[in-house]
């Protein structure tokens, strides 16, 4: 690599240019090498040695490398670190390179093996088992705006599932939050593209090209059989398919027929709500501590992935919810059936992802074996479930999908050994008896190996060298090896042995007889491997032809696993089947927070259950009480119970009646978003503004401590106005937690607002938090008692007590914060009032420092003022 004009360097730079911002894995023998900045990045992420090789531009070339045989593990770490990788493989052998050099008139000694990028490995295009999390879907999304509407195309290429949808631009963030894509691609000239989106050429996002690509992939003349797709949906599909084609270098992965998704069919939740409720991941970004982790009792990876999707997109169609609940109820009511189902489902491999690898051209004999075993076990499960009488409608709909693969399973059972290997390069995965010709080749190879063993014994006898061995390696093939002290005997001209190699303590030889036997083994072995490879391709083709039905089986098995897991979780925790209604009620008896309850149980403590009863006449509960009293937990648990119910599962309560919720909003807790220049209070206000602009009568809103991030007067004023707006304008079901006791006066003017508080007592100077919800306003905040409980020094608490007494005395004398609130007009009377008119021209002129303006700045200011004046 000395100098900048070497052929290898030229080849590397050409490939690196093609790789763009991806790290380039450059194949050199048994290693993938990385150079320059790529090497520095990879060495830092992988914690491997950074070395140098030759020079370029007078400087040493940084480099590092990873072995080809263990590259998957390193790739996984790079992808998790946010890197993208281009794989440059050798696409010809050294001998082929020399032949090409001869044809081109180049000295064969300088022939450089051709390399080409065979694949881009990115977060959204993974299919390898070692690179994927078994219990997490790996979504790739493409987004584009077409005439004021955003099209969104999503695909999990590990299973082939593809969905198309559209939304308003302001709803795109919520849609992407629901999807949770590992990677998002968008047109390169779109100013409003999501942050961190991979930019691709605008030409890729054409609705005509998207429609044509889908028709070609699925071999149809029209997409009408798959559903109705808008221009925005098809444009996004075009971008998605073009990116997959780019990543696979012309080889597309498994793509099932697209499904049109309607946003109205699922409960809307924005990103802030999902983060606040910790639905699929906790605040620390991990799975532990999330609702998903606490609910998940699935025994398969596919089931866990589907459960996460259910929780991320609860249904709004009452009949679909009831169908899911009926299946869970059927399994819940029969513990023996539940145990049998879970035992069978646990034994079924992840056939959806095995199918994805096979269709993508990355499959192995083991994947074929997983398809075989999974379909056979699915048929057994079908036998158990089909025998039941009065089956739920959803079970009847699923049963046909988990059977009907008899011909394919028979073929795979005859063709494959019971436990096929993950690698096919060494053969041995086609079963004996499937191909007589292959069996004969194996017999020839076996006989030749036995002949070599007999030859070794004969040579030992003839030479009298008991340490003589016949060995094999990848360079010399078969050879005879003796200790150095016996080498002279075999060196004699008439010994019949030919010297091959001298080692430190041994000498290696060949013989004509051994050479002939080795050729027989090599020929038979090569022909056997070729035969197995041909059978592998035939089996892959058979599976590929049936891919849509196999994918349907995988989806049905996942749904059964989710239902059985929901039933198991309900049995564990004493959860109930919710009633889902079409009204605007919410009546929960003995509701509990599933995550908090589980955490307390580990500590040997009991969770205190609470009731919630919202109705059109009592739709806004104002909840007061001390910090740590359980207000936030109460708010969240009711939101999670609604979510679980509409996801089609049982809920942690004694009884639950859920009026369908179309949108769920949670503004509970907030943190700084410094990357966007937003303080905690700004984040709180942005989230509150979203609720006030989007919540409706069918929505459910939980709000905690609105206004706490600013001054006391500003905070109370905002909290008061927000509560009035939700009561009068949005008219949503709402739980509103606050420390402002003054807000209790809202009950005098808001007819559908009621007061509640979490109970607490002081006993001998200590605060006792009862975590019970009671009617009426809180009598006090217990802030000083909580501070003492938290370990604040006694002298500080004593000083705070003295200050508090002084403040309370002043409030009693002046009316305090609540002074004048009784004379406020109703919210409805003030909502239409306009802000006082502002004279912006006068304000601008008053703020000018005329003496500091340059002539040019003064002229620009005049033009600006004239424009503002509209003249």
Q: Give the model confidence (pLDDT) of 363-402 as tens digits.
A: 999 999 999 999 999 999 999 999 998 899 999 999 999 9
Q: Is 298 exposed, middle or buried (0-12, 13-18, 19+ CB in 10 A)?
A: buried
Give the C-alpha distances (Å, rounded to integers) separating 131 from 299, 379, 423, 528, 746. Answer: 20, 30, 17, 32, 56
Q: What's the pLDDT score for residue 828?
A: 52
Mean pLDDT of 13-20: 93
Q: How many residues does this entry show for the chain?
A: 871
> What number of other Cβ atoms are within 10 A of residue 71's Cβ?
19
What's the gap between Cα 193 and its chain centre?
A: 20
- The more confident residue out of 107 and 437 is 437
- Secondary structure of residue 416 in the 3-state scheme: strand
320 or 629, which is more confident: 320
CB 554 within 8 A of CB 585: no
- Asked whether residue 683 carries a pLDDT value surpassing 50, the answer given is yes
The whole-number pLDDT of residue 39 equals 95
Cα–Cα distance between 689 and 95 in angstroms, integer?
69
DSSP-derived pairing of the beta strands 469-473 and 477-483: antiparallel
More confident residue, 347 or 784: 347
What pLDDT is attached to residue 678?
Answer: 59
Answer yes or no: are the C-beta atoms of 204 and 302 closer than 8 Å: no
413 burial type by CB count under 10 A (0-12 exposed, 13-18 middle, 19+ buried): middle
pLDDT tens digits, residue range 125-182?
988 888 888 999 999 999 999 999 999 999 999 999 999 999 999 899 999 999 999 9
Tell me whether strands 149-156 and 161-167 are parallel, antiparallel or unpaired. Answer: antiparallel
What is the DSSP secondary-structure string of 581-618?
ESSS-EEEEEE--HHHHHHHHHTT-----EEEEEBTTB
Compute CA 489 distance to the chain's CA centroid, rounded to the nearest angstrom: 68
- The pairing of strands 506-511 and 497-502 is antiparallel
Exposed / middle / buried, residue 454 (Cβ in 10 Å: 0-12, 13-18, 19+): exposed
What is the distance in angstroms between the CA of the first residue and the CA of the last residue of the chain?
A: 69
Query: How many angstroms separate the CA atoms of 154 and 304, rounded?
Result: 19
Does residue 753 register a pLDDT over 70? yes
User: How far is 711 from 723, CA to CA, in rounded Å?
Assistant: 18
- Which of 172, 165, 215 has the alpha carbon at shortest distance from 197? 172
- Of 821 and 473, the structure prediction assigns the larger pLDDT to 473
Q: CB of 443 within 8 A of CB of 450?
A: no
Question: How many other C-beta atoms lie within 10 A of the C-beta of residue 340?
Answer: 16
Question: 509-516 long-range contacts, Cβ below 8 Å, gap at least 24?
Answer: 509/479, 509/480, 509/481, 509/482, 510/478, 510/479, 510/480, 511/459, 511/480, 513/455, 514/452, 514/455, 514/470, 514/478, 514/479, 514/480, 515/478
525 has a pLDDT exceeding 70: yes
Q: Quickly list DSSP for 670-692.
A: ---BGGGTB-HHHHHHHHHHHHH
- Checking if the pLDDT of 833 tops 70, the result is no
Give the pLDDT score at 395.
97
- How many other CB atoms are there within 10 angstroms of residue 663's CB atom? 20
Q: What is the pLDDT of residues 779-792, one digit of tens each?
A: 667 777 777 777 88
Alpha-carbon 2 to chain mean position: 44
Residue 866 banded pLDDT, cuts 50, 70, 90? confident
Residue 200 has pLDDT above 50, yes or no: yes
Share of the chain above pLDDT 70, in %: 93
Taking a C-beta distance cutoff of 8 angstroms, is the pair 312, 296 a contact?
Answer: no
pLDDT surpassing 60 at residue 105 = yes
Interhelix angle 207-218/231-247, nearest 10 degrees: 60
Average pLDDT over residues 774-778: 87
Of 762 and 171, the one with more pLDDT: 171
Residue-level pLDDT at 673? 45
Is residue 588 within 8 A of residue 694, CB to CB? The reply is no
Position 396 scores a pLDDT of 96
φ, ψ of residue 752 to 5 degrees: the values are -100, 20
pLDDT at position 236: 97
pLDDT value for 823: 54
DSSP code of residue 651 = B
- Mention every residue, 6+ apart, whose C-beta is less than 8 A from residue 573: 594, 597, 652
CA atoms within 13 A on the CB side of 247: 24
Contacts of 111 (CB under 8 A, 6+ apart): 94, 97, 98, 100, 101
Q: How confident is the model at residue 835 (pLDDT cuts 50, 70, 90)?
A: very low
CB 644 within 8 A of CB 651: yes
Q: pLDDT tens digit string along 557-568?
A: 999 999 999 999
């Amino acid at each position: 690599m000395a100098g900048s004009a070497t052929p290898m360097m030229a080849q590397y730079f050409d490939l690196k240019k093609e790789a763009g911002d991806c790290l380039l894995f450059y194949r050199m023998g048994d290693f993938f090498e990385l150079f320059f900045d790529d090497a520095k990045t990879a060495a830092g992420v992988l914690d491997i040695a950074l070395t140098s090789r030759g020079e370029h531009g007078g400087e040493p070339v940084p480099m590092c490398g990873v072995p080809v045989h263990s590259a998957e593990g390193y790739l996984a770490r790079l992808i998790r670190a946010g890197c993208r990788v281009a794989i440059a493989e050798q696409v010809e052998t050294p001998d082929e390179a020399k032949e090409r050099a001869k044809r081109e008139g180049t000295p064969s000694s300088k022939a450089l093996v051709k390399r080409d990028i065979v694949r881009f490995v990115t977060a959204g295009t993974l299919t390898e088992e070692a690179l994927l999390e078994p219990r997490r879907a790996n979504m790739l999304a493409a987004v584009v705006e077409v005439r004021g509407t955003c099209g969104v195309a999503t695909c999990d290429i590990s299973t082939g599932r593809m969905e198309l949808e559209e939304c308003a631009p302001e709803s795109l963030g919520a849609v992407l939050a629901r999807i949770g894509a590992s990677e998002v691609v968008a047109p390169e000239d779109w100013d409003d593209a999501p942050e961190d989106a991979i930019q691709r050429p605008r030409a890729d996002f054409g609705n005509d090209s998207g429609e044509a690509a889908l028709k070609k992939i699925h071999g149809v003349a029209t997409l009408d059989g798959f559903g109705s797709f808008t221009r925005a949906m098809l444009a996004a599909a075009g971008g998605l398919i073009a990116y997959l084609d780019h990543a696979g270098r012309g080889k597309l992965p498994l793509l099932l027929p697209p499904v049109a998704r309607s946003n109205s069919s699922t409960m809307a939740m924005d990103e802030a709500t999902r983060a606040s409720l910790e639905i699929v991941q906790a605040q620390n970004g991990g799975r532990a501590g999330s609702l998903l982790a606490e609910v998940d009792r699935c025994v398969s990876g596919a089931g866990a992935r589907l459960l996460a999707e259910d929780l991320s997109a609860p249904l709004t169609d009452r009949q679909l919810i009831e169908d899911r609940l009926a299946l869970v109820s059927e399994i819940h009511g029969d513990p023996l059936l539940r145990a049998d189902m879970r035992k069978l489902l646990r034994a079924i491999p992840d056939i959806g992802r095995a199918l994805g690898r096979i269709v993508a051209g990355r499959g192995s004999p083991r994947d074929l074996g997983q398809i075989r075993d999974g379909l056979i076990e699915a048929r057994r499960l079908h036998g158990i479930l089909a025998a039941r009488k009065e089956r739920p409608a959803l079970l009847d709909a699923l049963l046909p999908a988990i059977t009907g693969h008899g011909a394919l399973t028979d073929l795979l059972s005859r063709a494959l050994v019971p436990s096929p290997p993950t690698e096919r390069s060494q053969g041995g995965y086609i079963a004996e008896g499937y191909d007589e010709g292959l069996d004969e080749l194996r017999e020839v190879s076996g006989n030749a190996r036995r002949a070599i063993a007999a030859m070794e014994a004969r040579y030992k006898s003839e030479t009298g060298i008991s340490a003589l061995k016949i060995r094999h390696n990848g360079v010399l093939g078969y050879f005879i090896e003796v200790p150095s002290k016996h080498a002279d005997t075999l060196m004699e001209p008439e010994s019949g042995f030919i010297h091959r190699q001298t080692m430190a303590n041994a000498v290696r030889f060949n013989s004509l007889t051994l050479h002939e036997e080795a050729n027989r083994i090599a020929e038979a072995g090569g022909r056997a491997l070729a035969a197995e490879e041909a059978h592998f391709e035939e089996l892959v083709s058979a599976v590929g032809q049936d891919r849509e039905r196999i994918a349907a089986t995988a989806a049905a098995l996942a749904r059964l696993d989710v239902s059985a897991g929901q039933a198991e979780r309900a049995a564990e925790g004493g959860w109930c089947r919710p009633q889902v209604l079409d009204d605007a009620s919410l009546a929960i008896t003995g509701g509990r927070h599933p995550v908090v309850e589980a955490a307390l149980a580990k500590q040997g403590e009991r969770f205190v259950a609470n009731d919630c009863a919202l109705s059109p006449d009592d739709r806004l509960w104002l909840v007061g009480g001390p910090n740590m009293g359980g207000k936030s937990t109460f708010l969240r648990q009711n939101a999670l119970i609604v979510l679980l119910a509409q996801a089609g599962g049982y809920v942690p309560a004694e009884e639950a009646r859920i009026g369908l919720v179309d949108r769920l909003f949670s503004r509970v807790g907030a943190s700084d978003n410094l990357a966007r220049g937003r303080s905690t209070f700004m984040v709180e206000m942005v989230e509150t503004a979203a609720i006030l602009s989007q919540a409706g009568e069918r929505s459910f809103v939980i709000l905690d401590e609105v206004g706490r991030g600013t001054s006391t007067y500003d905070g109370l004023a905002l909290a008061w106005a927000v509560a009035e707006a939700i009561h009068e304008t949005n008219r949503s079901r709402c739980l509103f937690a606050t420390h402002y006791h003054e807000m209790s006066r809202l009950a005098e003017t808001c007819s559908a607002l009621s007061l509640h508080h979490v109970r607490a007592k002081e006993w001998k100077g200590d605060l006792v938090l009862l975590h019970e919800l009671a009617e009426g306003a809180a009598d006090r905040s217990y802030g000083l008692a909580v501070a003492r409980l938290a370990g604040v020094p006694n002298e500080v608490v004593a000083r705070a007590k003295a200050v508090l007494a002084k403040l309370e005395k002043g409030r009693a004398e002046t009316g305090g914060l609540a002074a004048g609130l009784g004379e406020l007009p109703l919210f409805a009377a003030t909502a239409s009032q306009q802000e006082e008119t502002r004279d912006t021209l006068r304000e601008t002129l008053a703020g000018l420092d005329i003496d500091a303006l340059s002539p040019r700045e003064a002229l620009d200011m005049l033009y600006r003022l004239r424009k503002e004046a509209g003249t």
